[in-house]
Amino acid sequence: MSQEKVKHRERLSGVFAPLATPFDGQGNLLLEKLASNVEKLNKTRLRGYLALGTNGEFRSLSGPEQMKVLKTIVSAASPEKVIMAGTGAESAPVSVELCQQAAEIGAHYGSLITPFFFAKKMSDRALIDYFIQVAERSPIPVLLYNNPGVTNITMSTTVIKEVSSHPKILGMKDSSAGNLSAYLVNAQPGFCVLAGSANFFFTGLIMGAVGGVLSLADVFPEPCCNLYELGVAGKLKEGRDLQLQILKLNQMVSGKFGVAGVKAAMDLVGFYGGPPRAPLLPLTAEEKKKLREDLIASGFMKE
């Protein structure tokens, strides 16, 4: 592994929070709330942040809004935090433009979701060409982002085998349940795989993932960092026990309610969550009440 790759591997190792984007009840951006959330998270052991991810409702923002959000995060983040930014659009030229803008603002890595508007046409060849085209023209290195729950595309191991030695494609985030080991074993040495969900974070680490981008870290960053440390240390019994608890916790929040649930839980623990943008619906009063009870019963939230 090159010196360069070793450095990047170190920077990608740990827990990343895919920051939620705060809105008011009319769907207007609340950038100061975002800054304040980041300032709180700065004090945690989080390795860094993902701006403009699925949990940041990046596709619900206009182009200019996306950049305002990223600027806010970059400004508010303490210097040791690593910043990834969702720069994957539906075409190579637009994704390149986003990578350029993100680089200028100060993001360290671009994150490229598999384009999926034309999902049925996304052959291995189409994806490989796309990822390489964007990486070559991006000023910052990129990470691939596999999320079949959203895209209906599961990146093949052929794609990973082909692009994982590219000097500008440093790793991937895998939010599918069950393909992470296959990516690990098919990737070229040095390629960094991050778990995209707290549900399989511990087993991912056991198998060789370097870290995770976990929506649960928006709400409960410290338990996620504990789990990371148990994984790195190979503490099987404690790790399994915490993983199972965190899995249950994650199901209550994003498993059941998605982004709206993450935001509602953020409100409950002292961050600003607020409502998602339409067409996403916020939790009902009853759902919020139940969520509060569940979180207290879980032991992760104090009454």
Enzyme catalytic residues:
173
Which CB atom, from 181 or from 226, has the smaller least distance to a second copy?
181
Burial of 164 (0-12, 13-18, 19+ CB in 10 A): buried
d(CA 240, CA 78): 32
Q: Whose structure tokens read 């596999």?
A: 146
Residue 10 touching a second copy (CB under 8 A):
no
Residue 178 binding a second copy, by CB under 8 A: yes
Site membership for a second copy, residue 118 (CB under 8 A): yes
Nearer of residues 35 and 184 to a second copy, judged by Cβ: 184
Among 42, 203, 226, 298, the residue binding a second copy under the rule CB under 8 A is 203
Q: Mind giving me the DSSP string for 29-69?
A: B-HHHHHHHHHHHHTSS--EEEESSGGGTGGGS-HHHHHHH
**Residues in 69-88 that interact with a second copy by CB under 8 A:** none
Q: Indicate whether 63 belongs to the interface with a second copy (CB under 8 A).
A: yes
What's the CA gap between 281 and 259, in Å, rounded? 10
Among residues 4, 39, 90, 293, the one that binds a second copy under rule CB under 8 A: 90
| Minimum CB distance to a second copy, residue 11 (Å) | 23
DSSP-derived pairing of the beta strands 48-51 and 211-213: unpaired
Which of 9, 240, 288, 290 binds a second copy (CB under 8 A)? It is 240
Taking the least distance from each CB to a second copy, the nearer of 82 and 180 is 180
The four Cα atoms 59, 257, 197, 238 give a dihedral, to 10 degrees, of 160
By C-beta, is 63 or 167 nearer to a second copy?
63
Q: Is 127 in the site for a second copy (CB under 8 A)?
A: yes
Residue 193, strand partner residues: 172
Q: What is the CA radius of gyration of the chain?
A: 18
Cβ atoms < 10 Å from Cβ of 29: 18
> Residue 47 in contact with residue 37, Cβ under 8 Å?
no
Q: Is 258 in the site for a second copy (CB under 8 A)?
A: yes
CA distance 167 to 138: 12
User: Given the structure tokens 């895998």, which residue do they identify?
Assistant: 174
If you ran DSSP here, which 8-state letter would residue 23 be given?
Answer: B
- Would you give the DSSP letter of residue 20? P
Burial class (CB within 10 angstroms; exposed 0-12, middle 13-18, buried 19+) of 25: exposed
Selected from 279, 286, 302, 303, the binder of a second copy by CB under 8 A is: 279
Number of residues that bind a second copy (CB under 8 A): 67
Per CB under 8 A, does 199 bind a second copy? Answer: yes
Part in contact with a second copy (CB under 8 A); list of ranges 41-49, 103-111, 126-134, 294-302: 126-134
133 binds a second copy (CB under 8 A): yes
Q: Where along the sequence are the contacts to a second copy (CB under 8 A)? A: 27-28, 54, 57, 59-64, 89-94, 97, 115, 117-123, 125-127, 129-130, 133, 149-150, 152, 157, 176-179, 181-182, 184-186, 199-200, 203, 206-208, 234, 236, 240, 243-245, 247-248, 251, 258-260, 277-281
